[in-house]
Structure formats: C-alpha cells, structure tokens
Chains A and B, each alone.
Chain A
Amino acid sequence: MSATGRPRAAVRPPGAGTALTHTAVLTARQLRAVVRVPAFLVMNLVQPMIWLLLFGQLFRSVVEIPGFAAGSSYLEFLTPGVVMMMALFGSAWAGTSYIQDMERGVMDRLLTSPTHRGALMVSSLVHQAVLTVVQTLVVLAVAWWCGARFGGGILGVLVLLLGAVLLTATFSALSNVAALVGRDQTVLIGISQLLTIPLMFLSSALMDTRLAAPWVRDVAAFNPFEWAVVVGRGALAPDPDWGEVGAHVGYLAAVAVVMAWAATRAFRAYQRST
C-alpha cells in the first residue's frame, strides 16, 4: 500500500457485515478488560452470595405458610430470584463503561469514526450478558452445593440463563441511556437506588406474591423484573409450565429489543448536547 495518494485504498465501504464485525471487536475489547481485572466479576458475586446464604437461612420457614408456592425448600424458591436480582443490580451499573469512555476521549473518538452505533450499544449489552451468565452459573453451583435441586434440568438452566440475559439487556440499555444523557456516575447511582430496589420488592423474587397485598401482585404483573423471575423459577421447576415461561420470555425479549433500539437513539442526544 503506497503511503501517498490513496487514503481510502484499504477502507471498505460499510456492508452488511459491518454491524456484526463492530459488535465482535467492541465486545472483545470489553471482555479483555474483564479478564484483566476480574475483580468486578467477583465483587458482583458477593451480594448474591449473601442473599442466597443469609436470606435462605433467615426465611427458611416461609415455605410452610399455607398458600406458599409448592416446592420443597425456600432455597430452591429463592435461587432464581437471586439470579435475577444479581442480573438487575449488575445491569444498573452497565453505563459505567460509557461514563469512563466519556471521561476519556474514547467515546468521542468512537463517535467520530464510522463505528456502528447499534454495535456500540449491543456490544455493551453482550458484555453485560456474558458477566450475567458466568455469575449465574456460580450462583447455581453454590445453591446446588447448599442442597437446592432443580427439576428443570439442563433445559431449565438454559431457559433461566436466557431470561437473565434478556433482563440484563433491558436494564443495561436503560443504564447506558442514563449514562449518555446524564454523563455522570451519580445518575447511575440514582437508577440503582430508586429503580432497582422497588422493582425487586414488587416481584416474587423473595416472596410468593400470592401472600402479599393484592395490589403488589397486580403491579408485579407489569414488572419486567418479575417476568424474568417467572421465567427463571418456572424453568427450574420439576414440571415446567412452558406456556407461561415462553410467554414471559417473549415479553422480556420485546422489552429488551425496544430498549436497545431506544438506547441506540440516545447517542444522538449525546451529540446534541456535546
């Protein structure tokens, strides 16, 4: 390639593969960082372990309350809830990567290059999803070791992972929007405090909502976090109700796609305010 004259010689025009290539190389960048500093991966696991081991012990006898969901132990009831809580709380911080890139000139550099905007968003979601999958497998292993048994088998675990990944995508996209619009880590703190905690309690993650006030059940029916819990718990059950699980996977997938699309639009807002 000559050094003069043809600056475009090696640059292909964007094709159909551009979005996929960009997603792959940007995801690889994020995962390199995870491998190099695995501390975040491990730190994200501390909280779910505490929930699993302490909540599991604290509320052990709630399963004996008449009307509580059928099942042999609270630990088994709790495990899919903890998986989804971990996915939710982890995703709330997804925007941190964008904030760091914005504090440096990395985001500006990416946005002034032909980087595919959708790929920039999707790579972040894939990165978070990989974290969620790894952490989920650890939580399941610990729950197993503590005596929980999951009748859904391998298929059940795969469907639980799918639910966790879709939940992760939804809330990571939301967190990324907050990062692009708010440009400050404090906005993410706001999301994780004001949004995730109520969503967690307006669900059956910790407690069977049939035993809660009726309005809680009504609200939970519209809570994407609850959909993920329904997917996870349903899939791990000995005799899964695949109709209900499938429907909730569908709701979650729809919300995830809409959120990812909307979040990609937020790059425009970032540019308007630059």
Chain B
Amino acid sequence: MTASSRPALEAGSLVKTYPGGRGKPPVVALDGLTFQVAAGTVFGLLGPNGAGKSTTVKILATLARPDSGTARVAGLDVAREPAAARRVLGFVSQKQVSDPMDTGAENLVLAGRLHGLSARDARARAEELLGRFGLTDAAGRRVSTYSGGMARKLDVAIGLMNRPQVLFLDEPTTGLDPEARAEMWSEIERMSGHEGMTVLLTTHYLEEADRLADRLAIVDHGRVVTEGTADELKSGLRGDAVHVEVDRRDAVGHALAALGRVAALRDLVADGQAVRARSDDGAAALPPVLAALDAAGVEVRSATVSRPSLDDVYLRHTGRSFASAGTTPAPATPAPATLEGAAR
C-alpha cells in the first residue's frame, strides 16, 4: 500500500440535524464534527450513545446526507461520487446486516454478487471468509440459528466481501457476551494488519477503543472533543490519576475541600462517592492526601494511584465520567481497572 499523503477518511465540519417531532426543536446530531484518518490505520470514535458516532458513519458510508460539511472516503467525495465510494467501502451497521432467512454462505455470495463478483469468485471469497471467521461448519445453516457472536462475525465478513479500502464497524461488539467480544477483538486486530485496509470503529467501550484503535477521537454532543493515540491522550493528562473513595456520599464535599489544600494535587473532580485528581507523582502524594482527609474527619474507603485511563481522559474533556454519561463500561471487567492494566 502506498503511504499516501491523502487521508483514507475525512470528515470536515459535518453538521446534521434531525427534526425533533411535534413542537420540539430539531435535534443536533452533528455539530461541526471533523477528523481525518490515515490509510491503513484503525481509527476509533468513542463516545456515549447519542454522541453522533453512528450518524458520522452513516454519512461517510453514503447512507445519510449531512446538512453541511464534507465527507471523503478513499479521496472520493461521498456527496458527489457516492457510487464510486460504495465500491471501495464496507459497512457493518449497528444492527445485524445479514438476512436471517438465508444461510451464512448465501448472505456472503449475495453481497459479493452485488459488488460485481462472478458467481464463482463470490463463492470462493465467501469460503475464504467463512474459514477465516471460523464459520465454515455453519455456512449452510440459516443465520436465524446463529449465536449473537456468530451472526456478528458474519456481518463483518459481509463487509469484507469486496475487499474494501475502508471498513466501517459501527459498534461491532455491542450486545455480545465477553467471550464473543474477545474473539471479535482478535478478528479486528488480525484484519487491521492485513490488506492495508483502513478501519473506522465506533464504540462506547473504552477498553475496546484502547485496545483496537491506533488513533481515536472522543465525541461528545456531535463534536470531537479530543483526538490522538490512546497513549497521547492519556499522557496529555500529565502524571498519575489519584482516586479516593470515601465512605459516605455526603462526605464528598468535605473531601473535595480538604484535598483542595493538598499542593501535590490538581484537576480535582467529584465523581459519585469519590474524588478524582491528578498528581505528578501520585505515590508521593498519597501520605498528604490521607493526612488531609484524616484531619477533616473524612473516612476513606480506598485510595488508588494509577496511570491515567481513557476514562480519565473522557472525564477531563467532557466534564463527566464515562459511566455517568449514559453508557455502561464493558461488562467483562470494570473499564478503569482494565485500562490501568493496559496502560502500565
């Protein structure tokens, strides 16, 4: 793949509003969303439900039209050349894209035929993908008999039938059990290394973005609030995250006041029954932190120091923690714990 200077994906100041229904103001889904993705990389759009991730994907994949702004896929303006763009993209929507009444193989062959493959080429490509996704034994079964994880793998395989230059994966693991999610992650990791393909991944799992995306953008209220590699975003926070959980929710205010006087801490935020803060040297900050809370008469349940997680990045840029933004962390493990592990 030539390292082209032109990005594989470009969203430029995208604006999209939906009618709000009777008497209600229009809903702003995208409010000047902008990002670029280099060819051959995995780019993550991270944000809570309703942040505008799916709308962005739909516009880039030629499905929806923006009110204003530009969208380019593989250098093609999707508003001007939608047909050309459709030949080089693969789209796996949030919802199941396979027909449950057809078998896995039939779904793949249909997708290949619609992309202009001959019947023989479509069958060969389908077999190859069924093998790659471990679905060969299920190839002749109707998709309605598949497990959620199998159906989702088939969806991704359908998106790959035309060997796309750009693959859109809109929340590929939402609703999957932890085991199926882990399998899907391995698949995505494997295929992003292949074929020089560019992948745009949307997710509301911090863990997923951290693991899969080369670069990521945090989206909130239809805008990119920050962008970079996971490490850049985390190190942009400088120093360690200090997390102090107190025994009663109503003690958080006292704790916040007491910790405000500890010189080693900055960026203090109350988050539920805890106070989060940053420190250049978290370990050295802990003794004064505990002393200050003790002096203020606040009972401490736990105090932890960690490398910053994406959750901290999210909190910093949106003013609220990811968990309280209307989404749940990946059920496999509490997100912050895993992210600490990944960052270490």
Check if B194 is an interface residue, CB within 8 A of chain A.
yes
Q: Per-position contact with B for A14-36: 1 when CB-CB < 8 Å, else 0?
A: 10001001100110010011001
Bound CA span A81–B113, Å: 40
Q: Which of A256-271 contact B (CB under 8 A)?
A: 271
**Contact partners of A196 in chain B: CB under 8 A:** none
**Contact partners of A5 in chain B: CB under 8 A:** 1, 195-196
Q: Are A274 and B58 in contact (CB under 8 A)?
A: yes
Bound CA span A256–B216, Å: 50
**Contact partners of A101 in chain B: CB under 8 A:** 99
User: Which residue from chain B places its CB closest to the CB of A18 in the assembled complex?
Assistant: B116
Q: Are B195 and A7 in contact (CB under 8 A)?
A: yes
User: Which residue from chain A places its CB closest to the CB of B99 in the assembled complex?
Assistant: A106
Check if A155 is an interface residue, CB within 8 A of chain B.
no
Q: Are B91 and A108 in contact (CB under 8 A)?
A: yes
Q: Are B98 and A106 in contact (CB under 8 A)?
A: yes
Q: Are A271 and B195 in contact (CB under 8 A)?
A: no
**Contact partners of B163 in chain A: CB under 8 A:** 6-11
Check if B337 is an interface residue, CB within 8 A of chain A.
no
Check if A213 is an interface residue, CB within 8 A of chain B.
no
B125 contacts which of A4, A10, A33, A105 (Cβ < 8 Å)? Answer: A10
Q: Are A36 and B88 in contact (CB under 8 A)?
A: no
User: Which residue from chain A places its CB closest to the CB of B98 in the assembled complex?
Assistant: A106
CB distance from A112 to the nearest CB of B (A): 4
Q: Are B116 and A114 in contact (CB under 8 A)?
A: yes
Bound CA span A21–B122, Å: 13
CB distance from B129 to the nearest CB of A (A): 12
Q: Are A29 and B110 in contact (CB under 8 A)?
A: yes
Q: Which of B7-54 contact A (CB under 8 A)?
A: none
Bound CA span A274–B96, Å: 17
Q: Are B115 and A11 in contact (CB under 8 A)?
A: yes
Check if A195 is an interface residue, CB within 8 A of chain B.
no
Q: Per-position contact with B for A115-153: 1 when CB-CB < 8 Å, else 0?
A: 100000000000000000000000000000000000000
Q: Are A105 and B88 in contact (CB under 8 A)?
A: no
Q: Are A111 and B63 in contact (CB under 8 A)?
A: yes
**Contact partners of B92 in chain A: CB under 8 A:** 105, 109
CB distance from B220 to the nearest CB of A (A): 22
The residue in B89, B162, B163 that gathers the most chain A C-beta atoms within 10 A of its C-beta is B163
Check if B342 is an interface residue, CB within 8 A of chain A.
no
Give the A-B pair count, Cβ closer than 8 A. Answer: 120
Given that A29-B106, A108-B63, A114-B86 are known contacts, is A11 also in contact with B117, CB under 8 Å in the complex?
A: yes
**Contact partners of B165 in chain A: CB under 8 A:** 7
B102 contacts which of A14, A29, A274 (Cβ < 8 Å)? Answer: A29
Bound CA span A109–B197, Å: 19
Say which size band chain B's interface belongs to. Answer: 35 or more
**Contact partners of B63 in chain A: CB under 8 A:** 108, 111-112, 271, 274
Bound CA span A25–B1, Å: 33
User: Which residue from chain A places its CB closest to the CB of B64 in the assembled complex?
Assistant: A274
Bound CA span A32–B64, Å: 30
CB distance from A19 to the nearest CB of B (A): 12
Check if A43 is an interface residue, CB within 8 A of chain B.
no
**Contact partners of B111 in chain A: CB under 8 A:** 109, 113
Bound CA span A21–B194, Å: 31
Bound CA span A127–B196, Å: 40
Q: Are A105 and B117 in contact (CB under 8 A)?
A: no
Given that A14-B83, A29-B110, A274-B64 are known contacts, is A8 also in contact with B88, CB under 8 Å in the complex?
A: yes
Bound CA span A107–B102, Å: 15
Check if B87 is an interface residue, CB within 8 A of chain A.
yes
CB distance from A218 to the nearest CB of B (A): 40
Q: Per-position contact with A for B163-203: 1 when CB-CB < 8 Å, else 0?
A: 11100000000000000000000000000001111000000
Q: Per-position contact with A for B109-130: 1 when CB-CB < 8 Å, else 0?
A: 0110111110001000100000
Bound CA span A110–B94, Å: 14
**Contact partners of B256 in chain A: CB under 8 A:** none
CB distance from B206 to the nearest CB of A (A): 24
Q: What are 17 A-B pairs with beta-carbon distances under 8 A?
A: A5-B196, A7-B88, A8-B87, A8-B163, A10-B163, A14-B116, A22-B113, A29-B106, A33-B102, A101-B99, A108-B93, A109-B92, A112-B63, A112-B89, A112-B91, A114-B87, A274-B64
Chain A residues packing against B (C-beta within 8 Å): 3-14, 18, 21-22, 25-26, 29, 32-33, 36-37, 101, 103-106, 108-115, 271-272, 274
Additional A-B contacts beyond A3-B194, A10-B125, A272-B65 (20; CB < 8 A): A4-B1, A4-B195, A5-B1, A7-B163, A10-B121, A11-B87, A21-B113, A25-B113, A29-B106, A36-B101, A104-B95, A104-B100, A105-B92, A106-B96, A108-B58, A108-B95, A109-B93, A109-B111, A111-B63, A114-B116
